Structure 1
């Protein structure tokens, strides 16, 4: 297993554990404590409030997003929408509310446990135009030119080969269609001890890349009209840093001119 495969397996394991333990936790953690230990305080560092959005389902919200991609996605009645890293189905259900009964929503996730949880959430509500697939978003199990819109929320930054993902997004979109992704990016050079830390990686901070490089990957995939719709600064609480890093690394991190941001970006095929 190469290093990229090992990283993906680590992330898959953590999010599978989150799915299995979510009924205990009820508020997950994208960048914080181990989801298998509900006795610890859980930090939803980047989580957004979805509760006022049409289609919101509380039991499908694990608190692991970093934005509201559907807010900027321009989903229209009858659209086919693909959600990458669909988790328990929250963004899919909100997308369904926008696409209507004539639309179609496809959620893709590489965690068997997450897909099972999403299926149960959809079945409980009798949704017939929302489907969930287990699959790798670097090789999506859908044909070319399928989607009118692709959305994703705090997922691409978890995976090491972003160039593959953006090429896949381009492939599955219809010509003239677009994506809207909320994701985590970095600015500045972080201490190597920070970015090499396995638990921080799975927690979706150290896996993020520089904002400039992230946008270049989108350009290299041949998207046009690329626009950063929203930027939000991410602040990691000291308690989370102390759980994952030693004092020297924390001091280096705080002394550096660095930033962690949640961005929502759009692009057109």
Structure 2
């Protein structure tokens, strides 16, 4: 179904709710049995009837997001505003709850509901979830209730959610997912029953899009079973935390010159690697895993101030969950916690990718790197004595590894 058809359909539901009707966007059986609408909530007292009538979600993302007083939250596809109003209660008078919807009728309905509820800390925006009309790093939490599945560009929607979150911000979604490859006709029938007009993602595809957007700490928990491999689910993820003025995001090709310059500056210290000359970008990318590359960048200028990336240790299947990583921070930005933030994000991202062991080799003289790694769970497992010559001097290398407590157990 095209975007305009989705908007028109939900606009008609908004008008029906405004006229006092209770509305559903899927089969009545699925709606009754699948915790759709207000069935997933336990705290709807004193909410306007208009918000309850227009509740079309498949869960309770407000509870999933664990909102705290003073936070700002954005609801993607806010409909009649039930999740925004519940969020406004939780974040309190010093917080802010935004709602975004592509249907002008839904936005109008939600604004009336907020006025009736006396919710002065709310704001409803008209726009699409694929192009959110808010600046970068605008909110602490992004929620959504059975809306991402409606998008015909889910990658863009999740990338936009990442963009508007502040570093350390949280994503808490209720959505519909498929648990694997199933018969297309049966899956389409199940999706029709639950109103999944643009098609549900498989769990693996959802994880992949979240990782590509830059999220870490990804958890997908199945809730209601709608048959034929289609489920309601809770999706949680985090934007990597780092100090104000910086952001950790996936490495891009446009970062090439800055990444290689930082690499070369690190090599020039004589304490980072046996290598003395940074490779070409083609050589760099050929040796690194595409899904485990991050940069720390200035939010104002976009300048890259540090990076981390991983290489496979072997092509043998037995070592599929073992990688070796490299981390470099701009010489003018060290001792500011950037390396720690990058390494913490990398560890979380590696566990999302199913990595159970991260390895690294560090010169014994590189005390700062050794301390950083040990503070985040790496341990020295041995010393390779006089393993190679560097500028004419034989050097030892300490071998470190970090074993995941979440993967491979």
Instruction: Give the superposition deviation at 1:235.
Output: 2.7
Q: Structure 1: which 5+ residue stretches go unaligned?
A: 1-5, 34-40, 237-257
Q: Does 1:189 align with 2:181?
A: yes
Aligned partner of 1:246 in structure 2 is: none
Aligned pairs for 1:80-159 within 5 A: 80-159=72-151
Take 1:60 and 1:227, find their aligned partners in 2: how far apart are those partners?
29
Larger Rg: 2
Aligned partner of 1:60 in structure 2 is: 51
Instruction: Give the superposition deviation at 1:57.
Output: 4.1
Instruction: Give the superposition deviation at 1:214.
Output: 1.0
Instruction: Give the superposition deviation at 1:22.
Output: 2.0
Q: Does 1:266 align with 2:236?
A: yes
Aligned partner of 1:28 in structure 2 is: 23
Instruction: Give the superposition deviation at 1:206.
Output: 5.9
Considering Cα pairs closer than 8 Å and 6+ residues apart, tell me whether 1 or 2 has the greater RCO. Answer: 1
Q: Which TM-score applies when normalising by structure 2? A: 0.53
Aligned pairs for 1:232-247 within 5 A: 232-235=223-226
- One of 144, 161, 169 as aligned partner of 2:153: 161
Q: Structure 2: which 5+ residue stretches go unaligned?
A: 240-409
Instruction: Give the superposition deviation at 1:161.
Output: 0.9
Q: Does 1:16 align with 2:8?
A: no
Aligned partner of 1:239 in structure 2 is: none
Query: 1 or 2, which has the higher strand percentage?
Result: 2
Q: Which TM-score applies when normalising by structure 1? A: 0.79
Please give the secondary structure, in 1, of the residue aligned with 2:5: helix
Alpha-carbon spacing, 1:202–1:113, altered in 2? closer, same or farther (3 Å): farther
Aligned partner of 1:241 in structure 2 is: none
Give the RMSD, CA atoms, in angstroms: 2.5
Alpha-carbon spacing, 1:54–1:224, altered in 2? closer, same or farther (3 Å): farther
2:75–2:143 contact (8 Å) kept in structure 1: yes
